[in-house]
A and B are shown apart, each in its own frame.
Chain A
Amino acid sequence: MKSLSVQNVGKAYRTYRSEWHRFARWAGLPVKPVDEHWVLRGIDFDVRPGEAVGLIGRNGAGKSTLLKMLTGTLRPTEGCVSVNGKVFAILELGMGFNPELTGRQNAAHALSVMEADPRAAAAAMEYVEDFAEIGEYFDRPLRVYSSGMQMRVAFSVVTAMRPEILIIDEALAVGDAYFQHKSFDRIREFRDQNTTLLIVSHDRSAVQTLCDRAIMLADGAVVRDGPPEEVFDYYNATLAENVAPEVTVTRHDDGRARTSSGTGEAKVSEIGLYNRRGEQVEAVGVGETIELRVRVRVYEAVESLVLGYGVRDRLGQVMYGTNTWHTNQVISSPSGGDEYEFSICFPANFGIGTYSIQTALVDRDTHLSANYDWQDLALVFRVENFDKTAFDGCLWNEPTIEVRSLAS
């Protein structure tokens, strides 16, 4: 059983020497387009019912075009898209609302497209009003809305009834934190009821919390399809400008993919985690002071060298990260053959679990202008609770609790 199946799909925008050629083609004459611009080609994947898939990729990679074909507003030029069940979608942050009409009228209009039965549509309407929580604005014309309010209405409309497939394009980032939480809960609720989700977002944590799979598009093709953590690492590695750095993915012992990339002017040659006694460790206690030792070798002279590192949890979310640009320890003009050792000490104030270290050798505060060497999952370690009070969560934040008995 597939919820959604995309088979060898391609989309081309055709231009003709003159529009008259296009009309002649409709009439069945054998006219060839002058130019075919392929925005997507050879896209092939299936999605199971109830699966949540994040779609990532740079602007122009073809994400929105793909979603439009899944929704049905665009037709594929070649290949075939088959969809099992009702599809509701928010594309390009809207649903074609009319600014002169009120939120209520717009919602009713959109619902009448989505649901043929007027009674079900009326019931959905009540839900929309409750969920959007925009008060009296609901009966005012849309043109006086803020973009957040418009998004609230659009999101409420699209989630008013449970579809078999829900498509959300970039919409999760809009709106305040409160509404984001609400929308996430609603989406999760759908997912638990076996709705298939397709989400486009540049927000790593949104995709990682909601999705169990991610697909990365680049230049109109699927370049990665797998667990979100792995696909995001790869995506991140390809973000550096100008140069197309070589990205390599190797499998870690535990089966997780380890992504490294970079232009190679400098490289991390050795990395290790040590306890206070100077012993290399793989498991540390909560709150224990540990030292991350990173040895870096310079292969080619560069203007400046910055080491950045981050501690990430199991899902790939960064718990803490900084770099020597922020700490004012930039190495200026290192030359080929130089070697440096960085000793980074910090307390392991993390919750119980496994964590990974990522490292980056760059020229300044981001890895977008130059990326010499980038390693995800450079090192994995475990945090265990040996001597602290039992606690939950990802942060060790020991409290002092006083309990006073009050006279009744």
Chain B
Amino acid sequence: MVANLWIYRHFILNSVVNEIRGRFARSKLGGMWLVIHPLMQVAIYALILSKLLAAKLPGVESTYAYAVYLMAGMLGWTLFNELLNRGLNLFIENAGLIKKMNFPRVTLPAIATASSLVSGAMLLLAMLLLFPLLGFGFSLAMLWLIPLIAVVTAFGLALGLLLGVINVFLRDLGQATPVVLQVWFWFTPIVYPLDILPEAYRNVIRFNPMCSAVNGFQRVLVYGEPPEMISLIYPAAFVAVLMPIAVLAFRRADEEMADLL
């Protein structure tokens, strides 16, 4: 599987470039929408909820602290969300290619991951440009973003791949997942700080792996501190369980997939 990724590296690179080109095709702002979309969401929440929630952010004395907090959480979530959605529709969207050309299918998740990372990087870049304007500086702690992004990517990929494989055979999943993601978003402390929840709920929400991952992004970007180790270890534990299942399902499905697409 890994050897195939190397042999087909030009195909993967080409596909990622084509995909980005495809996004720019026939739209004036093209790839900018990838950045505008989450930032607009941040702006909306900041506008509506800042009065309500800003005071609740402990330890930072800035009027823009809440906006930065939102951005930090949104960065982690957007990456995860995109990977999951890409994974979910990966095989269905590429049905034409799968049926007509013989190539290792392992390249498909690789392409999806690479292009999600590219759009994540664009979002991060846009945010880093905004931060100084909002009075937030850079810190060495930002290097922690690398392992954080890695663990969120792996989690999104594992879950997305598993759902994507099942989605070929059970199309309901394609409809159900966006609904679940909506709920999941609100069960992750992105828009609100975890502390405003009553103790009992807080303990339930902590089971959510995205909760600890997003918390890591927030600590790094808002407070300039290293994340708690649990932010990396807990989601990584999920990856350790999900990834082998996803890979196994993907291998088994490989034979039957083309029959059903």
Interface of A is mostly: mixed
Q: CB within 8 Å of B: which of A311-348?
A: none
CB 8 Å contact bits of A194-233 with B (1 = contact, 0 = none):
0000000000000000000000000000000000000000
Q: Are the CB atoms of B10 and A109 closer together than 8 Å?
A: no
- When C-beta atoms are compared, the residue in chain B nearest to A71 turns out to be B102
B8 at interface, CB cutoff 8 A: yes
Contact B21 A105 (CB under 8 A): yes
Asked if A95 is at the interface of the complex by the 8 Å CB criterion, the answer is yes
Check if B22 sits within 8 Å of A110, measured CB to CB: no
Determine whether the beta carbon of A96 is less than 8 Å from that of B96.
Answer: yes
Q: Are A73 and B100 in contact (CB under 8 A)?
A: yes
Distance of A226 Cα from B68 Cα, bound (Å) = 75
B103's contact among A94, A97, A113, by CB below 8 Å, is which?
A: A113
Q: Which of A26, A71, A116 has the most CB of B within 10 A?
A: A26
Verify if A45 is at the interface (C-beta below 8 Å from B). no
* Contact-residue size bin, chain B (C-beta under 8 Å from the other chain): 20 to 34
Is residue A386 within 8 Å, beta carbon to beta carbon, of the partner chain? no
Contact code string A81-111 (vs B, CB < 8 Å = 1, else 0)? 0000001010110111110110001001110
48-73 of chain A: CB within 8 A of chain B: 68, 71-73
* Interface check A23, CB cutoff 8 A: yes
| Interface: A141 (CB within 8 A) | yes
A121 lies within 8 A of B10 (CB): yes
Output the least CB separation between A54 and chain B (Å).
21
Known contacts: A26-B249, A121-B10. The answer to whether A100 contacts B26 by CB under 8 A is yes
Q: Which residues of B contact A98 (CB under 8 A)?
A: 18, 22
- Contact stretch, chosen from B199-207, B230-238, B253-261: B253-261
Give the contacting residue for A26; candidates B94, B97, B99, B248; CB below 8 A.
B248
A73-B25 contact, Cβ under 8 Å, with A112-B10, A116-B7, A121-B10:
no
Collect the chain A residues with CB atoms within 8 Å of residue B169's CB.
19, 22-23
User: In the complex, which of the residues A91, A97, A101, A108 contacts B99, with contact meaning CB atoms closer than 8 Å?
Assistant: A91
Are the C-beta atoms of A96 and B99 separated by less than 8 Å?
Answer: yes
Question: Total interface residues on A, using CB and 8 Å?
Answer: 33
CB distance from A399 to the nearest CB of B (A): 50
For the complex formed, measure the closest distance between the CB of B213 and the CB atoms of chain A, giving whole angstroms. 28
Q: Which residue of A lies closest to B95 (CB)?
A: A96
* With A73-B101, A91-B99, A110-B101 as contacts: A23 and B166 at CB distance below 8 Å: yes
Q: Does A382 contact B (CB under 8 A)?
A: no
Q: What is the 8 Å Cβ interface bit string for chain B, positions 74-111, against chain A (1 contact, 0 not)?
A: 00000000000000000000101111111100000000
A112 touches B259 (CB 8 A): no
For B94, the chain A residues whose CB sits under 8 A away are 96
The docked-state distance in angstroms from the alpha carbon of A96 to that of B102 is: 11
Once the chains bind, are A116 and B18 in contact (CB under 8 Å)?
A: no
Q: Is A75 an interface residue (CB 8 A)?
A: yes
Min CB distance, B197 to chain A, in Å? 36
Does chain A have a CB within 8 A of B177?
Answer: no
Shortest distance between the CB of B34 and any CB in chain A (Å) = 17
Most buried by A among B98, B253, B256: B256
Tell me which of B98, B258, B259 has the highest count of chain A C-beta atoms within 10 A of its own C-beta.
Answer: B259
- Complex Cα gap A141–B26 (Å): 10
Inter-chain CA distance A92–B18, complex, in Å, is: 23
Given contacts A19-B169, A98-B18, A105-B21, contact A73 B248 (CB under 8 A): no
CA distance A74 to B13 in the complex (A): 25
In contact, A118 and B10 (Cβ under 8 angstroms) = yes
CA distance A148 to B166 in the complex (A): 37
B255, closest chain A residue (CB): A75
**A13 close to chain B: CB less than 8 A:** yes
The smallest beta-carbon distance between A154 and chain B, in angstroms, is 10
Let me know if B18 and A101 touch, CB within 8 A.
Answer: yes
CB closest residue in chain B, given A141: B25
Contact B170 A108 (CB under 8 A): no
A94:B100 contact, CB within 8 angstroms: yes
Residues of B within 8 A of A116 (CB): 7-8, 10
Distance between A22 CB and nearest chain B CB, rounded to angstroms: 6
B184 lies within 8 A of chain A by Cβ? no
Contacts of A141 in B (CB 8 A): 25
List residues 217-261 of chain B with CB under 8 A from any CB of chain A.
248-249, 252-253, 255-256, 258-259
- How many Å from the CB of A122 to the closest CB on chain B? 11
Asked if residues A101 and B22 are in contact (CB atoms below 8 Å), the reply is: yes
Given contacts A13-B259, A74-B259, A91-B99, contact A109 B21 (CB under 8 A): no
Are B22 and A96 neighbours in the complex by a CB distance under 8 Å?
Answer: no
Complex: A368 Cα to B183 Cα, angstroms: 62
B14 part of interface (Cβ distance < 8 Å)? yes
User: How distant is the Cα of A94 from the Cα of B94 in the complex, in angstroms?
Assistant: 14
Interfacial chain A residues near B100, Cβ < 8 Å: 73, 89, 91-92, 94-96
Which parts of B172-195 form the interface with A (CB within 8 Å)? none
Contact in complex: A108, B14 (CB < 8 Å)? yes
Whole-angstrom CA separation of A279 from B96 in the bound complex: 64
- B11 on interface, CB distance cutoff 8 Å: yes
Most chain A CB neighbours (cut-off 10 Å) among B7, B25, B100, B249: B100
Cβ contact within 8 Å between A113 and B99? no
Q: For chain A residues 96-152, which have a beta carbon within 8 Å of chain B?
A: 96-98, 100-101, 105, 108-110, 112-113, 116, 118, 121, 141
Binding site for B on A (CB under 8 A): 13-14, 19, 22-23, 26, 68, 71-75, 87, 89, 91-92, 94-98, 100-101, 105, 108-110, 112-113, 116, 118, 121, 141
A-B contact pairs, 27 of them (CB 8 A): A13-B259, A14-B256, A26-B253, A68-B258, A72-B102, A73-B100, A75-B258, A89-B100, A92-B100, A94-B96, A94-B100, A95-B100, A95-B101, A96-B100, A96-B101, A98-B18, A100-B25, A101-B21, A105-B21, A108-B14, A109-B15, A110-B101, A112-B10, A112-B14, A113-B101, A113-B103, A116-B10
